[in-house]
Amino acid sequence: MKKSKIKIKDYAVSGELFELAYEESLDLWRTDPQPEELAPYYDSEGYISHTDSNESLMDKVYQKVKKISLERKVRLIGKLAKDKKTLLDVGAGTGDFLLTARQKGWAIEGVEPSEMARQRAEAKGVTLLPELVKSNGKKYQIITLWHVLEHVRDVEGQIQILSSLLEPKGTLIVAVPNFKSYDAKIYKGFWAAYDVPRHLWHFSKESIATLFEREKIKLIDTRPMIFDSFYVSLLSEKYKTGKNHFIRAFFNGLISNISAWKTKEYSSIIYILQKK
């Protein structure tokens, strides 16, 4: 029998303990209660700027992987585009994905709540809006959320807004961590992708399908995020032992991907959904 509540520590910023509550009807965990004020938990230079940093060895490896990942993401949306190449990226960070997409001919728009991230995107020539609002008539063929949905307070409300912004037969791409992955099971409370309280929701494949089906958005395919198991394992090792055990983290990340080749329970999963 699955526990209905577990406690997870915020290893990245505050060191505080947070409780996760399991929702059986949706097969997900939620951070409960949600902190009234989340901004202090994002108040970390490392957390905000890690996507642009290129100082340490780990940063340099991350930048190499990020470049490959950006190219793969743009290839993916290119395969899914039909006629108009209109793209909205929600939680656009410092704008790298949108910048790469624009170079490939996409008409881009993005949303990012962090002012510091928006400023860095602006410096790259990418202007981002501070919040997502319901459609006033404008719609997009592709909407992407790369590791964003787990951060929003009102998941169902967010999905309703996304549906209003998506063209009929338009495609929604959502990437989130998967608490049923092998690396989540072996690291348990040290699993870095819980990332409480910044991650307010912890999804499974079943929960994603159910939540979006309510808004007549159907799950049509999934893709693995192969690199995530290695990155998450490396952070999890640090949380668990206080040290960077690169070899052990690499081994666990590799085993996670090999295991998922059969189970399809990858560390993070890209969900491809289509509006009916």
pLDDT in tens, 110-138: 999 999 899 999 999 999 999 999 887 88
Q: What is the pTM of this model?
A: 0.93
CA distance 257 to 253: 6
- Residue 241: exposed, middle, or buried by beta-carbon count in 10 A (0-12, 13-18, 19+)? exposed
CATH of the domain at 172: 3.40.50.150
Nearest by Cα to 183 from 122, 230, 134, 218: 230
The pLDDT, as a whole number, for residue 57 is 59
The per-residue pLDDT for range 12-70, each reduced to its tens digit, is 999 999 999 999 999 999 999 999 999 899 876 555 444 566 666 566 666 677 788 89
| CA 145 – CA 196 distance, rounded (Å) | 19
Contact 200, 177 (CB under 8 A): no
Q: How many CB atoms lie within 10 A of CB 8?
A: 22
Please give the residue range of the domain that contains residue 36: 5-275
How many domains are contained in the chain? 1
Which pLDDT score, from 0 to 100, does residue 25 have?
95
pLDDT of 49: 47
